[in-house]
Amino acid sequence: MASRGSLFDLRWIIALLFGVYGVVLLVMGIGFESDADRAKTGGFNVNLWVGIGMLVFTALMALWALIRPLRIPDEAK
Amino acid sequence: MLLAEANFRLDAQAVDYVLLGFYFVIVLGIGVLARRSISSSLDFFLSGRSLPAWVTGLAFVSANLGAVEVFGMTANGAQFGIPTVHYYWIGAIPAMVFLGIVMMPFYYGSKVRSVPEYLNRRFGPASHLVNGISFATAQVLISGINLFALGSVVNVLLGWPLWLSIVLSAAIVLTYTAIGGLSAAIYNEVLQFFVIVAMLIPLTVVGLHRVGGWEGLVDRIADKGNEISSWPGTNLTGIGDATLSVLGIVFGLGFVLSFGYWTTNFAEVQRGLSAKSMSAAKRTPLIGAFPKTLLPLVIVIPGMLAAVISPELAAAKAQLAANPNATTDVQFNDAIKLLIRDVLPNGMLGVAITGLAASFMAGMAANVSAFNTVFTYDIWQTYIRKNRPDAYYLKVGRVITIVGVVAAIGTAFIAAGYENIMTYLQTLFSFFNAPLFATFILGLFWKRMTPAAGWSGLVAGTLSALAVFILANSGAVTWFGSPDSQGPSFVGAGAAFVVDILVSVIVSVRTKPKPDKELTGLVWSLTPRESRKHGEEGEDRGWYRKPSVLAGGVLVLTVVLNIIFW
């Protein structure tokens, strides 16, 4: 059935969203941490670490999508 | 009032809006992409039964991770502390496992397209109509509540007018559910799940860092006796006696309320029905159960953190401890907003706002997609316009999605005017699930149960829940806890369950059952083992894909967590 074959791979969309989020947070964490921010977080650079975490997550999602690509179900079976 | 609102205003900057805006672009993009896969009504309403288990499993959790959950459970965390975990470990996991192992084979195997449709095949039109209409109505009202919650959060946090926030949020949900159908709703739920987690984990970590870790948090909690250990949870139930409190949690919350919700609520079951195989359908609630087990760590703990970090909330809690009737500046429901305001810098703040928006849209989209399916298949196709070509029902589905969302907007504005009424309504709906579960479980295992017993049990059970609800709220009966505690809903659900079973048995004995051959695939003893089994070939192979292994794993994890937080 054509309808199933054309389903897109959600894993790439998740990777796209968190890739962009990760980069933005990383930049915020490295370049724009203010004293007010440090007061809020108690000195824990949350943007930096969450940014790194999101990029790792992005890489894992992308890796999964590459290793196990979506297969179009064989309708004959 | 204005001053109080200004206190919550988040200092959102361009970067935060960019993160929120990018999320909306992706959400709508998923709707457009999902549209390409729709060529029949089954594609629109049940994703053509084609989705992989990890997708339906995460959507299963996400559909429940709406406004009520995120605000309500952080609020409970702030107010009651650790006993809130019972909503997860007692109040969700056993029921999710039961759904996956015992009930899903009947839902998926009988090829019904909705929960009411199962009732129709098992008991006939009377119970079908009772359930179909009450479910469809409840879904519209609940999505209105989700919409109002979303609108008021945007209003309070970002300062946009309430009506604009409500209409804008509704428009986004409507756009992707009307064009992309259930696939769009489910794919977005998976995305929403990750965004919500991306909000909750940093919130927990930063909060714990601020107070000096778990030890620091415990040190700062005044009522260590009740708030640090999960049992007997007397503060949560409002039932003074420890033994009764444990019984209330195990039977009221753990058995009746939770099994009623998780196993018969179509907004949840629908996620399983959209899976691509019997194995994937069984695994849907089981895969969902793993994150569900871990969620309280990042929902309940932030609530507890808010109550010690936010000066306003800490003051309010101390005030209420001294005088339960005190009027406070902030409510426990504000816990997560206050914590986000107090600990997250710009950047993460944008992710958190996105997480809140995601959570409410997830809840609303789940309600809307369950509503349009039940309305189209169970009401329109069954009673109003039968035997039309499939394309007609696909069109009806799209139109009724629009009607449902517009009705939800109306409900949201009513909710804005009468907030208390909506709270009551919501409590009421939680009662409706309890008799439904009783009818299901009896109908599933007792082939003698008759069509007349089906509807009369449902009606009698619902009326008795209603009676308990009225007694508790009028203050006439108080032994099972005050109206604002959880006690009455446990007792109400329990009463509904017992009355439903009693009435069903009595009516069954006096009326004529359906012939056995009409019940094949619907009743346990009349369904061949073969048709309940799942395949283990192709994409369903592997030990880690066995439903029994997943079920065992999540139960062990739950027991371990229970011991840690005993």
pLDDT tens figures, B357-391: 888 888 888 889 999 999 999 999 988 888 889 88
Domain spans in chain B, listed from the N-terminal domain onward: 2-564
What is this model's ipTM?
Answer: 0.89
What pLDDT, on the 0 to 100 scale, is given for residue B191?
Answer: 93
Distance, in angstroms, between A36 CA and closest chain B CA? 8
Q: Say what percent of chain B tops pLDDT 90.
A: 31
pLDDT band for B427, please (50, 70, 90 cuts).
low
Average pLDDT over residues B168-186: 89
Distance, in angstroms, between A16 CA and closest chain B CA? 9
Domain spans in chain A, listed from the N-terminal domain onward: 9-67
pLDDT digits (tens, 9 = 90+) for B124-142: 898 899 888 888 888 888 8
What pLDDT, on the 0 to 100 scale, is given for residue B420?
Answer: 62
Is B19's Cβ below 8 Å from some Cβ in A? Answer: yes
Average pLDDT over residues B205-227: 86
Residue type (1 letter), B324? P
What pLDDT, on the 0 to 100 scale, is given for residue B207?
Answer: 92
Q: CA–CA separation, A52 vs B73, rounded Å?
A: 29
Is A40's Cβ below 8 Å from some Cβ in B? Answer: yes
Residue type (1 letter), B222? A
B33/A14 CB distance under 8 A: no
- Which DSSP letter does residue B514 get? P
Q: Which residues of A touch B342 (CB under 8 A)?
A: 40
A46/B26 CB distance under 8 A: no
- Three-state DSSP at B485 gives coil
Of the listed ranges B81-85, B273-277, B310-314, B490-494, the least confidently predicted one is B490-494
pLDDT band for B4, please (50, 70, 90 cuts).
very low
- Which DSSP letter does residue B268 get? H
For A14, the closest of B33, B48, B191 (CB atoms) is: B191
What pLDDT, on the 0 to 100 scale, is given for residue A2?
Answer: 38
Residue among A41, A58, A74 with most chain B CBs within 10 A, to mutate: A41
pLDDT digits (tens, 9 = 90+) for B29-60: 999 988 888 888 888 888 888 888 999 999 99
Side-chain-side CA neighbours of residue B480 (13 Å): 21
pLDDT band for B522, please (50, 70, 90 cuts).
confident
B3 CB neighbour count, 10 Å cutoff = 7
Q: What is the CA radius of gyration of chain A?
A: 19
Q: Which helix (H) or strand (E) holds B531?
A: helix B529-532
B546 CB neighbour count, 10 Å cutoff = 18
> Is the predicted pLDDT of residue B97 greater than 90, yes or no?
yes
* Closest C-alpha to B368, from B412, B418, B406, B421: B406
pLDDT band for B203, please (50, 70, 90 cuts).
very high
Q: Exposure pattern of B427-463 as b/e (b: 16+ CB <10 Å)?
A: bbbbbbbbbbbbbbbbbbebbebbbbbbbbbbbbbbe
Is B37's Cβ below 8 Å from some Cβ in A? Answer: yes
Is A60's Cβ below 8 Å from some Cβ in B? Answer: no
Q: For chain B, count helices (H), then strands (E).
A: 27, 0
Query: What is the rounded end-to-end Cα distance, in angstroms, of chain A?
Result: 12
Q: Which residues of A touch B209 (CB under 8 A)?
A: 41-44
Tokens of B239: 């039932």
Average pLDDT over residues B95-106: 92
Q: What are phi and psi of B111, to 5 degrees?
A: 60, 25
Tokens of B244: 């009764």
> Is the predicted pLDDT of residue B3 greater than 50, yes or no?
no
Distance, in angstroms, between B111 CA and closest chain A CA? 19
* Closest C-alpha to A62, from A4, A19, A8, A7: A19
> Is the predicted pLDDT of residue B473 greater than 90, yes or no?
no
Q: CA–CA separation, B415 vs B144, rounded Å?
A: 8
Average pLDDT over residues B200-222: 90
* Closest C-alpha to B7, from B304, B298, B315, B413: B315
What pLDDT, on the 0 to 100 scale, is given for residue A75?
Answer: 47
For A13, the closest of B15, B191, B345 (CB atoms) is: B191
SS3 per-residue string spanning B269-319: HHHHHCECCHHHHHHHHHHHHHHHHHHHHHHHHHHHHHHHHCHHHHHHHHH
Average pLDDT over residues B231-254: 77
Q: CA–CA separation, B496 vs B208, rounded Å?
A: 42
Is B189's Cβ below 8 Å from some Cβ in A? Answer: no
B39/A36 CB distance under 8 A: no
pLDDT digits (tens, 9 = 90+) for A31-69: 888 888 888 888 888 899 999 999 999 999 999 999 988
Beta bridge partners of B51: B275
Question: Which of the two residues, B158 and B26, has the higher pLDDT score?
Answer: B26
What pLDDT, on the 0 to 100 scale, is given for residue B19?
Answer: 93
Tokens of B291: 């994150």
Q: CA–CA separation, B527 vs B531, rounded Å?
A: 7
> Is the predicted pLDDT of residue B112 greater than 50, yes or no?
yes
> Is the predicted pLDDT of residue A5 greater than 50, yes or no?
no
pLDDT band for A76, please (50, 70, 90 cuts).
very low
Q: What is the CATH number of domain B2-564?
A: 1.20.1730.10
Of the listed ranges B216-220, B358-362, B514-518, B532-536, the least confidently predicted one is B532-536
* Closest C-alpha to B426, from B410, B411, B445: B411
Of the listed ranges B62-71, B231-240, B305-314, B444-453, the least confidently predicted one is B231-240
For B345, the closest of A16, A46, A54 (CB atoms) is: A46
Distance, in angstroms, between B485 CA and closest chain A CA? 34
Question: Which of the two residues, B295 and A34, has the higher pLDDT score?
Answer: B295
pLDDT band for B424, please (50, 70, 90 cuts).
low
* Closest C-alpha to B433, from B395, B472, B465: B465
For A17, the closest of B26, B43, B55 (CB atoms) is: B26
Q: What is the CA radius of gyration of chain B?
A: 23
Sorted by sequence, the CB contacts under 8 Å of residue B182 that are 6+ apart come out as: B44, B45, B46, B47, B270, B274, B369, B373
A28/B345 CB distance under 8 A: yes
pLDDT digits (tens, 9 = 90+) for A9-40: 889 999 999 999 999 999 998 888 888 888 88
Beta bridge partners of B275: B51
* Closest C-alpha to A11, from A74, A71, A69, A73: A69
Query: How far from chain centre, in Å, is Cα B107?
Result: 19
Sorted by sequence, the CB contacts under 8 Å of residue B372 that are 6+ apart come out as: B45, B177, B397, B400, B401, B404
Distance, in angstroms, between B50 CA and closest chain A CA? 7
For B351, the closest of A2, A21, A43 (CB atoms) is: A21
Query: How far from chain centre, in Å, is Cα B400?
Result: 22
- Three-state DSSP at B275 gives strand
Residue type (1 letter), B208? L
* Closest C-alpha to B57, from B361, B280, B368, B299: B280
B48/A3 CB distance under 8 A: yes
Average pLDDT over residues B487-503: 85
pLDDT digits (tens, 9 = 90+) for B527-552: 887 777 787 777 777 788 888 889 99
> Is the predicted pLDDT of residue B258 greater than 80, yes or no?
yes
pLDDT digits (tens, 9 = 90+) for B259-280: 888 998 888 999 999 998 999 9
Is B351's Cβ below 8 Å from some Cβ in A? Answer: yes
Q: Are B220 and B314 in contact (CB under 8 A)?
A: no
The C-alpha angle with vertex B62 and arms to B61 and B67, in degrees rounded to 5, equals: 120
For A24, the closest of B30, B39, B347 (CB atoms) is: B347
> Is the predicted pLDDT of residue B293 greater than 90, yes or no?
yes
Query: What is the rounded end-to-end Cα distance, in angstroms, of chain B?
Result: 41
- Report helix angle B125-158 to B162-211, nearest 10: 70
For A40, the closest of B36, B39, B343 (CB atoms) is: B343
Q: CA–CA separation, B192 vs B362, rounded Å?
A: 7
What pLDDT, on the 0 to 100 scale, is given for residue B302?
Answer: 94
- Three-state DSSP at B39 gives coil
What is the residue-averaged pLDDT of chain B?
Answer: 86
Question: Which of the two residues, B72 and B192, has the higher pLDDT score?
Answer: B192
What pLDDT, on the 0 to 100 scale, is given for residue B457?
Answer: 93
> Is the predicted pLDDT of residue B482 greater than 80, yes or no?
no
Q: Are B307 and B74 in contact (CB under 8 A)?
A: no
